[in-house]
Amino acid sequence: MASEESPLLATRDGVTPETIYDRFRPGQKRWIVFVVSLVGVLPMFVQATFVPSIPQIAKDLNSTHAVVSLGFSLSIFATAVGALVWAAYSSFYGRRLMYLWGMPFLCMGSCGVAMSTSLWSLLFWRFVQTFGCSGGMSLGAGVIGDIYKLEERGTGIGIFFGATLLGFAVAPGAAAQYWSWRNLHYSLGVWGLLEMLLIYLSLPETSHPGVMGIEKVTAKRRFNIAWVNPLSSLWLLRSPNLLATTLAAGLVIVSDYILLVPIAYTIGVRYGITNEAVIGACFLPTGLGNFIGAPISGRLSDIVVRKLRVQRKGVWYPEDRLRATWIGGLIMVPLSIVTSGLVTTYVGGPIGLSLNLLCLFINGMGVDFVVAPVASYNVDVVHSRSAEITAAYAATRSVIVSVATALVIPSIERIGVAWTDIIAAILALVGQGLIFLTIRYGDHMRASVDVGF
């Protein structure tokens, strides 16, 4: 079969496969993961803080909730576009520079949102704001793929994903209830400015020597901005195994959004919760589950890779990592979302609310038991374009999530919470079926289309 080191990390510029991951000391690597995780939290935070603020914004701009909610859909679209752009250019200019280029867009967009006096200006600056920070996920995965070798990569990406997904869960709540939405976006601009300073002072370039396009350009042309096709990242998904795992992760993560986005209409209405801060606090169990589940699943996937590699006497199958998804994709996610739907429908009072919060926690863990190993697998397969495949995954996920969030409330109104959640559980199981097929036929799938493995 294969060793990651042979096809992907041939000796270049005097750097051998054995030393390319030793350029940074362990302490430096932990600091790099901390910095990129902090940046990765921001796009999730920017998305999630908008939802509880919709009533305030609609009142302030003399508009309706439905119209203002377009800002949330627009942010999902901007995230997809931005992730593709920043990832594509990071392969040419490097990770660090793309972080530094993105943050000014975030700062300007945040101030623009805060100063908006009309719906159109709000939507325009909302797009700029989300576009600027949208590289946090894809660039972060690329950085971790740059600094950690195969047997350590799952743990690093697990920690990163746990931190970033925590941002979506902790963002809503008290700020929307007790603080002006304009001040909230001013604070996001300040946050972006501080992160830009932190990146400039402490984040080194992590791309492997000799792989950046700028290194192949003559000195006279280095100040010309190169054209890089941002859609080239999506072309990686012509690989059937990468497409299958990306769709699988998207179908699983939908369960998070189906539980959280309509929470005011499900748990809030069922248990008489009207305070926005308390509604926002209901997001916390999912965030805690994400935060705990991602590093555990990442480490578990590393253990599976090492164990099976030893059993085969050094032979490595990338699909081994996907075996770590079973517990989350087959048990935790489908059972938690079905149970939540049934409890919301049939169990009232404090017991029902407590059981729902437990389901949110288990679902948060279960989702990351799938998402983190899949992200690591994608990086393993196209390691030289790790940021781009993560961007393609993020864009695909954004499309899937945007469709799901648009349909969830109409579905709840038409067929009820329980049946809506049962459908979400079935979709998660379909995703796990795609992962099973990838494990079973991974060799043939990778051989059918060459994307640089």
CA distance to 257, 265, 283, 402, 412, per residue, from 416 (Å): 16, 11, 21, 20, 4
Residue 379 reports pLDDT greater than 70: yes
Give the lowest-confidence range in 196-200, 296-300, 335-339, 399-403. Answer: 399-403
What are 372's two structure tokens?
């983190």
Contacts with 196 (C-beta within 8 Å, 6 or more apart), sequence order: 99, 100, 103, 104, 107
Give the confidence band of 346 by pLDDT, cuts at 50, 70, 90: very high
Q: Check if the beta carbon of residue 42 is closer than 8 Å to that of residue 133.
A: yes
Q: pLDDT of 139-156, one tens digit each?
A: 888 888 888 887 788 888
Q: Check if the beta carbon of residue 13 is closer than 8 Å to that of residue 209.
A: yes
pLDDT, residue 7, reads 39
- The pLDDT of 286-297, averaged and rounded, is 85
Give the confidence band of 101 by pLDDT, cuts at 50, 70, 90: very high
Give the lowest-confidence range in 121-135, 305-319, 351-365. Answer: 305-319
The fraction of the chain above a pLDDT of 70, given in percent, is 88
| 141/145 Cα distance (integer angstroms) | 6
What are 228's two structure tokens?
């890089």
Residue 362 reports pLDDT greater than 90: yes
Residue 70 three-state SS: helix
What are 215's two structure tokens?
């290194």
| 66/73 Cα distance (integer angstroms) | 11
pLDDT, residue 275, reads 73
pLDDT, residue 48, reads 73
Give the lowest-confidence range in 206-215, 259-268, 436-445. Answer: 206-215
> What value does the mean pLDDT of the chain take?
83
Give the lowest-confidence range in 38-52, 180-194, 355-369. Answer: 38-52
Classify the phi-psi angles of 225: left when phi > 0, otherwise alpha if psi is within -120 to 50, otherwise beta.
beta
Give the confidence band of 269 by pLDDT, cuts at 50, 70, 90: confident
What are 47's two structure tokens?
């998305």
Comparing CA positions, the residue from 34, 56, 311 lying closest to residue 195 is 34
Residue 429 reports pLDDT greater than 90: yes
Classify the phi-psi angles of 174: left when phi > 0, otherwise alpha if psi is within -120 to 50, otherwise beta.
alpha
When comparing pLDDT for 208 and 419, which is higher? 419
| 51/280 Cα distance (integer angstroms) | 10
- 5-448 belongs to which homologous superfamily? MFS general substrate transporter like domains (1.20.1250.20)
10, burial (CB in 10 Å: exposed 0-12, middle 13-18, buried 19+): exposed
Give the confidence band of 312 by pLDDT, cuts at 50, 70, 90: confident
| 359/355 Cα distance (integer angstroms) | 6
Q: Give me the residues paired with residue 85 across strands.
A: none
What are 290's two structure tokens?
């994400």
Residue with tokens 């999912």: 286
Residue 208 reports pLDDT greater than 60: yes
Q: Check if the beta carbon of residue 142 is closer than 8 Å to that of residue 205.
A: no
pLDDT, residue 163, reads 77
| 267/248 Cα distance (integer angstroms) | 27
Residue 52 reports pLDDT greater than 50: yes
The fraction of the chain above a pLDDT of 90, given in percent, is 27
pLDDT, residue 159, reads 82
pLDDT, residue 168, reads 65
Residue 174 reports pLDDT greater than 70: no
Residue 6 reports pLDDT greater than 70: no
* Alpha-helical regions (H) of 238-385: 240-260, 269-270, 276-281, 284-311, 326, 333-346, 349-381
pLDDT, residue 15, reads 45
